Amino acid sequence: MAQVRQSHSAICPYCLLGIKAGAPRAAVDSAYQRLIKNLNEENFMDSPQEWVQAQQAYMAIENAYRQIIEGDIDEVPVECQDGQAEAIPPKLGQMLIAAGIITLNELEEAIAAQKTLDLPLGEILKASSLITQMELDAFLLNQSQIRLPADSPYHIGQRLIGLGLVTEDMVRIALVEQRTSSKPLGRILVERGWLANDILKALVGDELPVDKEQL
């Protein structure tokens, strides 16, 4: 499994709790108590992945709650203002992973190689025999025609990034895959092995409809 790196995008504490920015204290307390109960480590002792992700989410939620009750919150970032994010094209590597041509580990190795090689990512992947010139040309053409939907922080994708459970790449890959699949975003992340199913359930429970825009 690829290592999860913390996202650099600013996600406001309210979003991490799954509630709207500026929600009343009662809503904050309710969301916090439900999540902390659901993420109790005793519920995730059977799987190392679940235990690690539960601990990661637990600590992030504790920190978010502390920030809210102590008033330690700066202006809500644009990324956390519902409807503000613009649709953007996927990256080449994200498209190739979604199509099953390369793995996330192979992408990370190619990106690391770029630090010493003055070559585009596609050329590095081709030199490593991971893709053909025909595939590279086709995916570059498709890349210019695709715009992924903006992923609001109130949806599960951005929450998972903010909680440190998945990377932005993982979410964008899932969004690419979702273009040809009716599966919810969270389900794709689970099936790829990037997110434990019980962690997804612990975070969303019955609070959200089974809708691909939100899960």
Mean per-residue pLDDT, 80-91: 65
Mean per-residue pLDDT, 151-155: 51
Q: Is a pLDDT exceeding 60 seen at residue 208?
A: no
Higher-pLDDT residue of 78 and 189 is 189
pLDDT at 6: 44
In our burial notation (b when 16+ CB lie closer than 10 A, e otherwise), range 136-160 reads beebeeeeeeeebebbbbbbbbbbb
Phi-psi region of 211 (alpha: psi -120 to 50; beta: other; left: phi over 0): beta
Q: Is a pLDDT exceeding 50 seen at residue 124?
A: yes
pLDDT tens readout for residues 40-64: 988 899 899 999 999 999 999 999 9
Mean per-residue pLDDT, 180-193: 90
**β partners of residue 148:** 88
Higher-pLDDT residue of 213 and 161 is 161
Transcribe 60-97 into DSSP letters: HHHHHHHHHHHT---SPPGGGSTT-PPPBPPPHHHHHH
Q: Is a pLDDT exceeding 70 seen at residue 163?
A: yes
39 contact partners, CB below 8 Å, separation of at least 6? 54, 57, 58, 61, 199, 202
pLDDT at 7: 41
Q: Is a pLDDT exceeding 90 seen at residue 157?
A: no
pTM above 0.85, yes or no: no
Q: For tokens 């081709």, what's the residue?
A: 126
Q: Is a pLDDT exceeding 50 seen at residue 212?
A: no
Phi, psi of 88 (to 5 degrees): -135, 155
pLDDT at 154: 43
